[in-house]
Each structure stands twice: as structure tokens, then as C-alpha cells.
Amino acid sequence: MNGYGAGPALGEARWYDDEAGPLVRLYALTGGRARPPNQVFDLMTLVVAAGPVGDDPSLGPEQAAVLELCALGPRSVAEIAADCDLPLGIARVLLGDLLAIGHIRVRPPLPQAYLFDQAILQEVIDGLRAL
Amino acid sequence: MDSGRFDGTRASAGQAAYESGGADARDESFLALKILVAGGFGVGKTTLVGAVSEIRPLHTEESMTQAGLGVDRLLGVEQKNTTTVAMDFGRITIRDGLALYLFGTPGQDRFWFLWDELAQGALGAVVLADTARLPDCFPAVDFFERRAIPFVIAVNCFEGHRRHDPRDIADALDLDPGTPVVLCDARQRSSGKQVLIKVVEHAGRHHRSRQWLGRNRTAEPAAQPTSSRPNSSPRATSTAGPDSSSTPSDRSTTFRRPPGTSTV
């Protein structure tokens, strides 16, 4: 869908593959921009849709896909890039657009003192054991 | 920009925004921890991440001036000034609202500059080691020691490889006392889980002792590893890898991590 890597075959033999690189040049997805308009997107910044995801005709297909993913629950910038099969830099630009028009909310990574609380770490250990 | 943020400490701020959305107010307490998986090229990082989590590649576009200076021949492709670096990425959902992210760091030394962003805010790290190529993990050990990021050495015991005493490996790597060394099989989910548990346990001890030190010191001490060492430039970081790894002749004759590599 985004042209990065191989998409679904749709019953036909593919004439391109991952090795061929992106079918759509990446700069075309971002309007030529390499950096997001704002600098809030750490790898671990959490993103969530700000409201119900309606049909916004002004969104490109990649932006719409990113927004749809955000509506499923909060996830990190790294996870969004990986799940949408978009390079990190491109995902950051698209998220920057979605933030600027108010479709998403973001939360910077929490401070370590809060994240590395003993109760939380114990929960992680128990969770790993149960995996 | 600030209006678009949600703040984990202000319950009311986000509530209204989520009421009608696909996400609810519970999202504000969503926690995500990050563990890095490092080690030499081909040591089994991808295998380990894949054994314990749903793995997928994470691509990042990097400028060639950083990634490939002096390495990649640009003849004929002068206009191409970015290159794609693929990392392994995995997520383990502990419960609703608590997730563990795994990042397999790029194995090639020339992508060391990427590690700085990856390492920021990491709970801890796994350094995968292969006893047949132990020097391959020296750069990773140095990197995490320098930044005071707690890490565990996981020795990937491939079939047919003789097992080593973890104490000998700790000695050969000149590890700080208390750094765990575990034997593992990166292909086994149960083994990978044990490695991650070790990392979380070790990180917990590490942070507790740092908090304790912080409370018991009036002035910021010069001995604090992260503050005492100057931040190296991306270029310096990217050269740190090749510089600190041993030459082939070194590898066959000595097994010990050269002491000079652990200091900046």
C-alpha cells in the first residue's frame, strides 16, 4: 500500500520485490519533507488517536493507515513505523502532520524513576514467566 | 503543539479527548519498557528476538555521510545520500497497558551512531556472545558500561560448541562485579524468557542502587559514570566500534577484552 517493500500479491506474480526498493519514492509520501514539523517523536513516544477515526478525505492513504493503527490503542512511534512498514523518518513526518491537524495525541516517554518502579518491574518479570 | 500532548499525570486532561474515541482514558497509564539486544554480527540477535516476541523489521533512513563515510563506495550513485538500516523489533504484551519492546541493534560497526537514540531511556540490555568469537561483543560491552546501562551477557550456546564456565567469560570480558553472565539457546523461547527476566532483575537492582546513591550524596559526584564521561560525537561513536574490536591475530591469541577499551 505504501509502496515500501512488497505489498500483497493480489493473485498475480509480482514483478518487484523487497530488493527492488520502494515502488513509490519515499519523499512522495511526505511531500518532500525529511523532518517532522515538530520534534516530539522519540522512538518511545506514545501515540493515540484523539477521537473517532472518520473518513477524512484530506488524508493520504499512509496517513489514514497510521491513524487507523493509533485508534486501536496507544503505541510507540517505533511500533507504528514497524507495523505500517514505513521507515522511521517517514512515519515521524506523517505523525507530525496528524498531530498538527489534531487527529492524534502524543505523550513523551515517561521519566525513568517512574518507569523503573519496583512494582512495575516485578509485574514484567511475572508476565515474562507466564509467557 | 502542547495542546496535542497527553500527560500521564493529569487524568482529566485526556479523558474528554478519549471519551468518544477508539481509545479510552486507561490509555494514559500505558507503560512501555525498552530492552536492547546487542552483540556481534550473526550471533543470534534476530533469533532471540523472534523466539520471545512477534518480530518485524524496523527501518530507519540514515544519511550516508554518517553511515557509510569511508565504507561505501558512492561512485555512480552520488545522488543517493541516504541508506536504509534495518533493526529487529519485537513487542511483548505483559498486560493491558504494559508492554516490553525489544530492539535488536544493527550488528555492523558502522551503524553505531544509531545506538545512542536506541539506548536513551532503555531499561537494560542483552549482550549476546558467542564464545568462538568473543571479541565481537567487546564494543557492545564497552558501549553499555560507558553509559551505565545495566546489561546481561547471554552466551548463545550453539550445538556442538563447548560450554564455558560463566565465571571464565566474565573474567575474559573484564566485567564489573555483579554483571550477570548466563548461558542460553537463542532459539528456545523458554531460554530467551530467562535471559529477559535476568535483564529486568539486574536492571531493578541497578536502579535501586543508583537511587540509594543519589539519596546519600549531597553534591553530584564526579564518579557518576554518565555525567563524568563526555558525550561523544556521532562520528566518534561510529568509529568506536571498529577501533575497539580486536584484530584477527588478537582474537586467536588473547581472549581478554583489552582494558583500554572500557575507558573513554
ipTM of the complex: 0.77
Q: Is the pLDDT of residue B41 over 60?
A: yes
Q: B12 is written with which cell numbers?
A: 482529566
Give the number of other Cβ atoms within 10 Å of residue B179's Cβ: 18
Is the CATH number 1.10.3470 carried by domain A31-130?
Answer: no
pLDDT at B25 over 80: no
pLDDT for A106 beyond 80: yes
Put residue A97 in one of left, alpha, beta given phi > 0 → left and psi -120 to 50 → alpha: alpha
- 59-98 in chain A: CB under 8 A from chain B: 70-74, 76, 78-79, 81-83, 85-90
CA–CA dist B181, B195 (Å, integer): 10
B134-167 pLDDT tens trace: 999 999 999 999 999 999 999 998 765 667 889 9
Residue B48 grid cell: 532471540
Q: What is the mean pLDDT of the segment spanning B231-248?
A: 35
Cβ contacts of A49 on chain B, cutoff 8 Å: 21-23
Rounded to the nearest 5 degrees, what angle is found at the Cα of B164, between the Cα atoms of B160 and B165? 150
Pairing of strands A46-49, A75-76: antiparallel
A37 CB neighbour count, 10 Å cutoff: 13
pLDDT in the model for residue A82 = 94
A71/A63 Cα distance (integer angstroms): 12
| B231 or B113, higher pLDDT | B113
Strand-pair category, B54-63 with B31-39: unpaired
Q: Which of A26, A76, A107 sits opposite B101 (nearest CB)?
A: A76
The answer to whether A48 contacts chain B (CB < 8 Å) is: yes
Q: Are A95 and A81 in contact (CB under 8 A)?
A: no
Q: What angle separates helix B234-244 from helix B138-146, to the nearest 10 degrees?
A: 140
Percent of chain A at pLDDT exceeding 70:
75
Tell me what pLDDT residue A37 has. Answer: 65
Residue A23 banded pLDDT, cuts 50, 70, 90: low
Say whether residue A28 is in contact with chain B using an 8 A CB cutoff: no
The Cα–Cα gap between B22 and A51 comes to: 7
Q: How many other C-beta atoms can be found within 10 angstroms of the C-beta atom of residue B254? A: 12
pLDDT at A129 over 50: yes
Q: Which pLDDT does position B82 carry in this prediction?
A: 63
pTM: 0.73
Domain-wise residue ranges, chain A? 31-130
Which of the residues A48, A80, A118 would you substitute to probe the B interface, choosing the one with the greatest number of B C-beta atoms within 10 Å? A48
Range with top average pLDDT, B47-56, B191-200, B202-211: B191-200
Return mean pLDDT, chain A: 81
Q: Which of residues B81 and B217 earns the better pLDDT score?
A: B217
Mean pLDDT value across residues A44-55: 88
Q: By the 8 A CB rule, do B137 and B44 touch?
A: no
Dist. CA B220–CA A8, nearest whole Å: 56
Question: Rounded mean pLDDT of A69-79?
Answer: 92
Q: Is the Cβ pair A107, B6 closer than 8 Å?
A: yes
Of B1, B31, B84, the CB nearest to A110: B31
Edge-to-edge strand ranges of the sheet holding B31-39? B54-63, B82-95, B98-104, B31-39, B124-129, B151-156, B181-184
Question: DSSP character for B5?
Answer: B
Q: CA of B10, closest CA in chain A: separation in Å?
A: 12
Q: Is B48 helix (H, G, I), strand (E, B) or coil?
A: helix
Alpha carbon distance B78, B147 (integer Å): 36
pLDDT score recorded for residue A95: 93
- The pLDDT-based confidence of A16 (bands split at 50, 70, 90) is low
Residue B156 is predicted with a pLDDT of 92
